[in-house]
Structure 1
Amino acid sequence: MYIKKTLLSCCLLGAFSSLAADHLTNSDPLTPYQWHLNNIGHNGLTTNTVAGEDLNLLNTDMQGIKGDGVTVTVIDSGIELSHPDLVNNVATGSLNLLTGTATPTDNTGHGTAVAGIIAAQANNNIGGRGVAPNADLVGFNYLDAQTMSNWLQSHGMPLTGSANSRVYNQSYSSKPALFKNVDADEHTLSLQLKERVMQQVSLNSNNGLGALFVKSAGNAFYQYTTFFGDTPFQVFPYEQQQPFNNAGLPFHNANLSTDNASFWNMLVSAYNANGKLASYSSVGANVFLTAPGGENAQSQAGIVTTDMSGCAAGFNTINSTIDILLQNTGLDSHCDATAAMYGTSAAAANTSGVIALVMSANPQLDARTIKHTLATTARKLDGNNAGVDINFTDANGDVVSYNAIPGWQQNAAGYNVHPFYGLGAIDVDAAVAMAQQTTALLPTLQVSDWHTANTELTIPDANVNGVQDTLAITDNLTIEAVQLKLSIDHTRMRDLAVELISPSGTRSVLLSPRTGLINATGIPVQNALLLSQHFYGESAAGQWQIRLIDTDNGTSQTLLYNEQAGLLSMNDTNNSVDGTVLSWSLRFYGH
């Protein structure tokens, strides 16, 4: 009897799973090609996918949980609000920040694609569908008008319009070549204002339920584009006479951007349809979760989503050879969709859609409890990824090895963490199941004072042991995130790795070596801000250790290219004197 019951249970489960898959896949013409929703091993456009590497939302969808009652603000290039697959999900509150009208015109298609990933309508026989197809959308074309006033309006202040949103999607990321001094007069006011606004909206909007700010980690693993004044430069590594050779390390660590080191921004990296880190995705200790971002769709699957209407607009005009994939299906004759969307922009949009689902599954949960639910239920992606080791010749002429990117490790609170994937890949069904059973909210958020060590320390050149210092912390907090503020005098910052080790022994590399950092001549790095998610759930109390390692004594180059300026070389001479740690400070967010 036991065997028969077990067989019957298995058969029923299998039948339910099959029914759920069919229900989702058949909802709209292009849903069979949306691998991020249901990856069956191919998506009909490319064959390079691995079954099961998706958001895992079939059971959630079968329950009818589709984001009802949740508004998502898309802070981007605008949205085509009249798009046939979006128009019925558009809420009031959108704003064109250039004209002051309620139609945030999208001139590139990026914001429209992001909006479609989040909440394109389902079961309307048009295109594909969004992760949360019943969620409401509000749009701002902030990327076209990036002033502080426009930032405030698009991020929920004053408490009108978008302040009703429970999710703010920021599918963009800056890529500075220099660390910003967060305590400098020219930055302090704007940074403090942004932090205060995000804190207010995160904790107190929506009658105390708050909101979540979701942000792309960036698309700069191998190279990046930055601006000196108004002039753009492409920046890329040059090692051992090979361009773009960076020994498997991220060239632009996600922690280099001050916005990415904010506690209030949930940073998301991207994985592809094979369940591996997407080739372009920025990474770092500040990544909270990873979500589907796809690849460029030439040989591996991109993300199918909405495009600006018509064949003469949006992605159709810049990626026509890719979008022909959809047009060849006969299901996109009006060019209202694209298969060419990819990036951490797509990963952030997927995450925002997921948050809308979890919020609609239990509308009584506040934003921090939702975030905690996603962290607790995240799955270990690419489980055999051991990180990245580099070899270098030390100051004594010996070849030594350094673990520059740690592999998967379980911290003392039982959370699996990795610089590529944060606390793991989002698992919608698991998160929704936990949310449905949750009644207690997280305790009130507490933010510690800065704890500072002012002792100057010498960083030995090309020495795998580096220099260490400790700081005793007495705050009795369960950690939600840790910030590090660091001042260093070093003439070649790209050589440095910065580690933080908790009292429980968890090791987090907040700054990986061989980055595209470019030193300002003769000016020390002052009050650079970095963040780690790797101590999530651990206790803050105890002895914390910082470790800085200089990983290179040879010549290397960072190349910069601009069409007018030509090809320039930086960082091509090793530092002639050892670097110095001037001060370091820790701040804890927790409960």
Structure 2
Amino acid sequence: MKLNRLIISISLAMAGTAQANPDLWQYPLFGGDPLTPQQWHLKNTGQDGYSPVVGVKGQDLDVDFAHAMGIKGRGITVAVIDTGVEIDHEDLRANVVAGSLNLKDGSAYPTDNNGHGTAVAGIVASVEGNGIGGRGVAPHANLIGFNYLDAQSEAAWFLSHGRTAENGKRELNRFTDARIYNQSYGSTMLKPFPYDYEANPALLAKDVALEDVTKDSQRGQGSLFVKSAGNSYGTYNVGAWLILPRENGRYYDNFGLPFHSANLSHENINYWNMVVSATNATGKRSSYSSVGSNVWVAAPGGEYGTDAPAIITTDIQGCSKGLNKAGASANRLHGGVALDPNCNYAATMNGTSSAGPNAAGAAAVIMSANHALDARTVRHVLAQTARKTDANIAPINLSFTQADGTVATYAALPGWQRNAAGYNFHNFYGFGAVDVDAAVWKVLFGGVQNLPEQVVTPWQTVAANAQIPDATLAGVTSELQVADNLTVEAVQVKLNIDHTRLRDLAIELVSPSGTRSVLLNPRVGFIGEHIENGVLLSNHFYGENSAGVWTLRVRDTDAGTTETVAFNTQTRQLLQLNTVNNAQPGVVRDWSLRIFGH
């Protein structure tokens, strides 16, 4: 939504200056920060971000109107849960407030020895107009940091996520005052995570904490947890092992389908985390970005900065550490050049690690437009106003030889779909690209009110015991009748499936309104033979009515032509996995459904 040109043009015309300089509307964004003209994620003019390739004009967060109106995150504290934050960085320190914690030594300085967390913090809230560096999405927001990735204990998790470390107690942690928690980290699972509270009580304690902080902290307004989707679209790593697909002897061939799913991470299938995928400077999915039905929105993550624009942000100060070090680089900002001789900034920050803080900064701007909005409603506004990026993306069709010898072709991953409530959705982008100006406009003038009290239904289970026919497009279906008459916010599905080649399976859920959500596309690089209490999340049904028949469909889409390969990057060992087709049909033992709604 590009409202700012019209509004500012009108105000200039009223002042009698509209004809003097048609580009004056750019001044509030570009003035005072030397790197900001190349920060395409804020204002994409087709610049190159110091990389060899230019972007596409207009493919950005669309912050002009909000920033011109002075709506820039004031009064909103964002917690960066990461490798730490260099809180005395020249372009961050003015926005840092009390509340940071070093989880290793207990001090108030969350030492960052990597640079990742400092880069994340800069994306959110680098200071504007100080004559150095660039600026953040929410340049007036407050920052605190935690070096959780250097101190990963249970106690450290609770402290950095807004709660005391006392498992099981619903006592809110008063140490932090964050309204937004950014989590640019994650895990790469080999199959759906076993979501079993009885077997894993720590999981229950963390879920309780996230729910409490989301709904009850900040005097009842709650805090928003932002989570990066992951960076494993085409391959993924498990320690020294590179896991990749192979089809008919061709490495990396996966029919264009995601080889890994964002829906396999236990953090990403948690409803309380708003999962964000990454787009590049052309407005399309970043090459690495994990995707899935659990993605809420997409935000700029860029590419690598040496091939195409990445994100320009703060780096650990000095040319001996961080992302920007002394020496030759394909990125023109790097190496100790005249524009940044002390290497205090980086132009190669990328990944959904960048998309997350871009969305977190956007949320801070939206919250500062109306401090009374609760966290769920901010998510709601983001969904309502997201832009349908990459609008003409084609479905990814899969052809395979069925068990009867015929060839079947179907849209294994559809293009953009419009659900029964009128929301556009795509597994790559969720509801679409974050559009700050559209969201702020809606908050200011659209009569936004906090959502009604949320209802979370108990798990409802079907004992299906249904065979999954091998290499057959029809697959198997199982139905579940839901009586609850709710407006859906999200749906979780829990599965127990036996199958010796999980890579063959496509798992889909169809709502009572007929909306088809691909929970897991086929050709995901599974390792293992069973799914035990595996939970998958879908946002695809947002706004629909929950009452009626929900249908689970599981397809086996391969008779044995694809495989998963594991390559050890240290020993050069090559393992071929999933090479033998399942001798017996798989079985959907049972499945369960849980609805978040109001």
- Please tell me the TM-score bracket, short chain as reference: over 0.9
2:77 and 2:179 in contact (8 A); partners too: yes
- Counterpart for residue 571 of structure 1: 578
CA distance in 2, matches of 1:213, 1:581: 33
Q: How far 1:44 sits from its partner (Å)?
A: 5.5
The letter of the residue matching 1:35 is W
Query: In 2 relative to 1, CA 464–318 (structure 1 residues): closer, same or farther, beyond 3 Å?
Result: farther
CA distance in 1, matches of 2:60, 2:325: 29
- Counterpart for residue 25 of structure 2: 20
Q: What CA deviation, in whole Å up to 9, does each residue of 1:279-312 have, x standing for no partner?
A: 0000000000000000001221000000000111
1:458 and 1:581 in contact (8 A); partners too: yes
CA distance in 2, matches of 1:18, 1:191: 53
- Counterpart for residue 354 of structure 2: 346
2:204 aligned with 1:197: no
- Counterpart for residue 383 of structure 1: 391
RMSD: 2.0
After TM superposition, the structure 1 stretch with the greater mean CA deviation from structure 2, 396-405 or 501-510, is 396-405
The letter of the residue matching 2:102 is N
2:593 aligned with 1:586: yes
CA distance in 2, matches of 1:318, 1:194: 42
2:516 aligned with 1:507: yes
Q: SS state of the match for residue 510, structure 1?
A: strand
CA distance in 1, matches of 2:110, 2:462: 48
2:339 aligned with 1:331: yes
2:197 and 2:203 in contact (8 A); partners too: no
CA distance in 2, matches of 1:318, 1:568: 39
CA distance in 2, matches of 1:76, 1:186: 28
1:390 and 1:404 in contact (8 A); partners too: yes
- Counterpart for residue 186 of structure 2: 173
2:248 and 2:561 in contact (8 A); partners too: no
Query: In 2 relative to 1, CA 519–44 (structure 1 residues): closer, same or farther, beyond 3 Å?
Result: closer
Q: What CA deviation, in whole Å up to 9, does each residue of 1:1-48 have, x standing for no partner?
A: xxxx99x95984987983332221223010011000000012462442
Q: How far 1:160 sits from its partner (Å)?
A: 4.0
CA distance in 2, matches of 1:328, 1:91: 30
CA distance in 1, matches of 2:564, 2:203: 29
Q: SS state of the match for residue 365, structure 1?
A: coil
CA distance in 2, matches of 1:316, 1:69: 31
CA distance in 1, matches of 2:199, 2:242: 26
Select 2:106's aligned residue among 100, 107, 112: 100
Q: How does 1:122-521 map to 2 (within 5 A)?
A: 122-158=128-164, 159-160=172-173, 163-183=176-196, 185-187=198-200, 189-227=201-239, 232-317=240-325, 321-326=329-334, 330-437=338-445, 438=447, 440-520=449-529
Q: How does 1:523-538 map to 2 (within 5 A)?
A: 524-538=530-544
Q: SS state of the match for residue 433, structure 1?
A: helix
Q: SS state of the match for residue 383, structure 1?
A: coil
- Counterpart for residue 39 of structure 2: 34
Q: SS state of the match for residue 390, structure 1?
A: strand
1:491 and 1:519 in contact (8 A); partners too: yes
1:65 and 1:357 in contact (8 A); partners too: yes
Query: In 2 relative to 1, CA 265–288 (structure 1 residues): closer, same or farther, beyond 3 Å?
Result: same
CA distance in 2, matches of 1:574, 1:487: 20
Q: What CA deviation, in whole Å up to 9, does each residue of 1:409-460 have, x standing for no partner?
A: 1101000000000001111001011112335210001101111111210100
Q: How far 1:98 sits from its partner (Å)?
A: 1.3
Q: SS state of the match for residue 583, structure 2?
A: coil
2:126 and 2:314 in contact (8 A); partners too: yes
1:107 and 1:314 in contact (8 A); partners too: yes
User: Tell me, which stretches of 5 or more residues in structure 2 are unaligned?
Assistant: 1-5, 165-171
Q: What CA deviation, in whole Å up to 9, does each residue of 1:484-517 have, x standing for no partner?
A: 0011000010110000011111100001110111
2:138 and 2:362 in contact (8 A); partners too: yes
CA distance in 1, matches of 2:257, 2:550: 26
Q: SS state of the match for residue 203, structure 1?
A: helix
CA distance in 2, matches of 1:20, 1:71: 28
Query: In 2 relative to 1, CA 359–320 (structure 1 residues): closer, same or farther, beyond 3 Å?
Result: farther
Q: SS state of the match for residue 329, structure 2?
A: helix
1:66 and 1:357 in contact (8 A); partners too: yes
Q: How far 1:161 sits from its partner (Å)?
A: 5.4
After TM superposition, the structure 1 stretch with the greater mean CA deviation from structure 2, 564-573 or 385-394, is 564-573
After TM superposition, the structure 1 stretch with the greater mean CA deviation from structure 2, 554-563 or 261-270, is 554-563
The letter of the residue matching 1:492 is R
Query: In 2 relative to 1, CA 186–564 (structure 1 residues): closer, same or farther, beyond 3 Å?
Result: farther
Q: How far 1:240 sits from its partner (Å)?
A: 1.8
Query: In 2 relative to 1, CA 319–211 (structure 1 residues): closer, same or farther, beyond 3 Å?
Result: farther
Q: What CA deviation, in whole Å up to 9, does each residue of 1:372-400 have, x standing for no partner?
A: 11110111000001221111111011111
Q: How far 1:317 sits from its partner (Å)?
A: 3.8
The letter of the residue matching 1:500 is L
After TM superposition, the structure 1 stretch with the greater mean CA deviation from structure 2, 327-336 or 300-309, is 327-336
CA distance in 2, matches of 1:161, 1:342: 33
Query: In 2 relative to 1, CA 142–374 (structure 1 residues): closer, same or farther, beyond 3 Å?
Result: same
CA distance in 1, matches of 2:194, 2:237: 21
Q: SS state of the match for residue 260, structure 1?
A: coil
Q: SS state of the match for residue 316, structure 1?
A: coil
Select 2:72's aligned residue among 63, 66, 75: 66
1:387 and 1:406 in contact (8 A); partners too: yes
1:319 and 1:340 in contact (8 A); partners too: no
Q: What CA deviation, in whole Å up to 9, does each residue of 1:506-564 have, x standing for no partner?
A: 100001110111005xxx32110000000000000111111000010023221112224
Corresponding pairs, count: 578
User: Tell me, which stretches of 5 or more residues in structure 1 are unaligned?
Assistant: none
1:387 and 1:405 in contact (8 A); partners too: yes
The letter of the residue matching 1:442 is L
1:72 and 1:167 in contact (8 A); partners too: yes
Q: How far 1:258 sits from its partner (Å)?
A: 1.6
The letter of the residue matching 1:23 is P
1:117 and 1:131 in contact (8 A); partners too: yes
Q: How far 1:186 sits from its partner (Å)?
A: 4.0
Q: SS state of the match for residue 338, structure 2?
A: coil
Query: In 2 relative to 1, CA 319–360 (structure 1 residues): closer, same or farther, beyond 3 Å?
Result: farther
CA distance in 1, matches of 2:50, 2:280: 15
Select 1:87's aligned residue among 81, 93, 108: 93
1:405 and 1:509 in contact (8 A); partners too: yes
1:155 and 1:162 in contact (8 A); partners too: no
Q: SS state of the match for residue 32, structure 2?
A: coil
Q: What CA deviation, in whole Å up to 9, does each residue of 1:122-176 have, x standing for no partner?
A: 0011100100011111111111121111110000012445541000000012101
CA distance in 1, matches of 2:454, 2:590: 27
CA distance in 2, matches of 1:20, 1:43: 21
After TM superposition, the structure 1 stretch with the greater mean CA deviation from structure 2, 29-38 or 87-96, is 87-96
Q: SS state of the match for residue 114, structure 1?
A: helix
CA distance in 2, matches of 1:527, 1:382: 35
Q: TM-score, normalised by structure 1?
A: 0.94
CA distance in 1, matches of 2:480, 2:437: 41
The letter of the residue matching 1:369 is T
CA distance in 1, matches of 2:101, 2:562: 47
2:512 and 2:547 in contact (8 A); partners too: yes
The letter of the residue matching 1:452 is T
1:31 and 1:127 in contact (8 A); partners too: yes
The letter of the residue matching 1:193 is A
